[in-house]
Amino acid sequence: MKSDIILRVVAKILIPFALMFALYVQFHGDFGPGGGFQAGVIVAAAVVFYGVIFGLAAARRAVPEPLVESMVAAGVLVYAGVGVAGLLLGGNYLDYFVLDHDPVHGQHRGIFWVEVGVAITVSGVMLKIFYLFAGRGRGFEEDDGP
């Protein structure tokens, strides 16, 4: 689909907004609908969109495979790390009240990092699955989208 100028222009216009919306969903999830899972999927969808229009190789250049693979694990580690931080600060595992002097702020902080972890793992897994599916049955270097 690389040759279709309308798709290319529309994609270039839409992708920044999609990423922006993902950030909004992520960090406004405390107040409005949304959260880590939704934001992670939207980030992945934006990159998938890029890959479909500009080709798999371009998407791999923009978001390299090693980064995606480390995201798969990093998110779970961030989440579990919040639990360990609670332990180190004298609470129970995944106890957010001890993360700050003010318990409510501690809750905020815990929820924030937990959602960050969810978003990282979800977008990593979605992207990795897309890369694997789209890269199958064609040479690795070919760069047209599915």
Partner 1 sequence: MTETLAIAALLAMLAVVAVAIARMRNLFGVVVLSGAYSFLMATVLTAFDAADVAMTEAAVGAGISTVLLLGALHLAGSLEAKPASRPWAPLVLAGFTGMLVVYGTYGLPAFSDPQSPIHRHVAPRYLEEGLKETGVPNIVTAVLASYRGYDTLGETTVVFTAGIGVIALLRRRRKGGGAKP
| Residue numbers at the binding site for partner 1 (CB under 8 A) | 25, 29-38, 41-42, 44-45, 48, 52, 69, 72-73, 75-76, 79-80, 83, 94, 96, 103-105, 107-108, 110-111, 114-115, 117-118, 121-122, 124-126, 128-130, 132-137, 140, 146
To partner 1, the closest distance from the beta carbon of 21 in angstroms equals: 10
Contact between 28 and 34 under an 8 Å Cβ cutoff? The reply is: yes
DSSP-derived letter for residue 34 is -
Nearer to partner 1, 20 or 73 (CB): 73
CB of 52 to partner 1, least distance (A): 7
**Whole-number CA gyration radius for the chain:** 18
Closest separation in Å from C-beta 138 to partner 1: 8
Helix axis angle for 5-27 and 103-135, nearest 10°, is 150
In the complex with partner 1, which residue's Cβ is closer, 8 or 108? Answer: 108
Q: Please check whether residue 128 is in contact with residue 64, taking contact to mean a CB–CB distance below 8 angstroms.
A: no
Q: What is the dihedral of CA 90, 92, 95, 97, to 10 degrees?
A: -40
Q: Report the residue number, 17 or 133, with the smaller CB distance to partner 1.
A: 133
By C-beta, is 5 or 140 nearer to partner 1?
Answer: 140
Nearest to 125 by CA among 25, 19, 48, 61: 48
Least gap, CB of 103 to partner 1 (angstroms): 8
